[in-house]
Amino acid sequence: MAALRGRDFTGIRDLDVGELLELLRLAAELKARSRAGDRPPLLSGKTLALVFEKPSLRTRVTFEAAMLQLGGHAVYLGAQDIQMGSRESPPDVARTLERAVDGIAVRTFAQETVQALAEHARIPVLNALSDWEHPCQALAALLTIQERLGRLTGVRLAWVGDGNNVLRSFLLGMTRLGISIAIATPPRYGIDPETLRAAREDAASAGAAVEVTDDPAQAVAGADLIYTDAWASMGQEAEAAARRQAFARFQVNAALLARAPRTALVSHCLPAHRGEEITGEVLDGPRSVAFDEAENRLHVQKALLAQIL
């Protein structure tokens, strides 16, 4: 457990394969213990600051509940509280918070803001979503895959929709564990070439593969899990109408599921837009594990906090 103490988690690559697997093991243990009524106070007296510049349901509530269940405490600071960048610079926020709390979870726009906080704070900084990555979601998806499929190596994930922050964390975190990813995005909305190159290298050394297509049916053909996310992420609201047109063929619906193996599961990081990237029928259907994954945010973040703070 000591290996991660004091470290930052600015992106999924801050954990190596051994650390990722140990985190998943601890998360499963804490989940089972919590269900049995055993909540060890591993973070008694510790405080986590939540510096959030974007809205959140899951991330806020799971970080707050995680701290409470581990015997600690969380302080929520919204965009209007700190006004980072105008009222106060990220380095000064970092230098101030480190005097009062034991860690910072930050949800922001530019990844550079996460990096600036990490650079200037002597306490751990955790990425609770940036425009670039959403590493906590990758951890929750991994725990869900492990629970539902009983393995990670050899699993085939299909990503249908936007080449966004969540996909980037999946590519940089999952391929190293032997998970293959087939990506179907409209050409203009694909993942950046550098992320793709790194993920392909990782996949090759782990016996997995990364494929890119603009045909959703091709991506889901061999999938164990089909994943999608909002067509317009937070901060892209002005592009929403144009994106609805560009992504019209990229909806996860019953017709697309019919092109996938009968056993394929479906997930979504949520919040979902029923009738856009996914139909209500599929999201609320028997193959959806989206809300199991939402719960698993709590368990993986407890494991993360217990190891890092």
d(CA 194, CA 164): 14
Residues 6+ apart with CB under 8 A from 256: 160, 216, 217, 220, 226
233 lies in the binding site for ligand CP (CB under 6 A): no
Which among 252, 300, 307 is positioned nearest to 30, based on CA atoms? 300
CA dist list (Å): 83 to 51, 105, 108, 116: 10, 16, 12, 15
Give backbone dihedrals phi and psi of 288, rounded to 5 degrees, phi first. Answer: -80, 130
Burial class from Cβ neighbours inside 10 Å (0-12, 13-18, 19+) for residue 245 reads: exposed
Q: Which is nearer to ligand CP, 107 or 200 (CB)?
A: 107
Read off the tokens for 154: 């050899």
270 lies in the binding site for ligand CP (CB under 6 A): yes
Among 24, 152, 191, 269, binds ligand NVA (CB under 6 A): 269
Tell me which stretch binds ligand NVA (CB under 6 A): 3-11, 27-35, 160-168, 273-281. Answer: 160-168
Which SS3 state, helix, strand or coil, does residue 265 take? Answer: strand
Q: Which is nearer to ligand CP, 1 or 57 (CB)?
A: 57
Shortest spacing between CB 271 and ligand CP, in angstroms = 6
Residues 99-158 that bind ligand NVA (CB under 6 A): 129, 134
Q: Count the site residues for ligand CP by CB under 6 A.
A: 9
- Catalytic residue list contains 120: no
Closest CB to ligand CP belongs to which residue?
59
d(CA 237, CA 128): 20
Q: Which is nearer to ligand NVA, 15 or 129 (CB)?
A: 129
Among 10, 59, 69, 180, binds ligand CP (CB under 6 A): 59
Q: Which is nearer to ligand NVA, 46 or 297 (CB)?
A: 297
Among 121, 208, 219, 269, binds ligand CP (CB under 6 A): 269
- Catalytic residue list contains 229: yes
Residues 231, 13, 43, 113: is their CA dihedral positive or negative?
Answer: negative
Shortest spacing between CB 266 and ligand CP, in angstroms = 15
User: Is the peptide bond between 216 and the residue preceding it cis, with omega within 30 degrees of 0?
Assistant: no
Active-site annotation, residues: 107, 134, 137, 229, 269, 297
Interacting residues toward ligand CP by CB under 6 A: 56-59, 129, 137, 269-271
Interacting residues toward ligand NVA by CB under 6 A: 129, 134, 164-166, 229-230, 233-234, 269
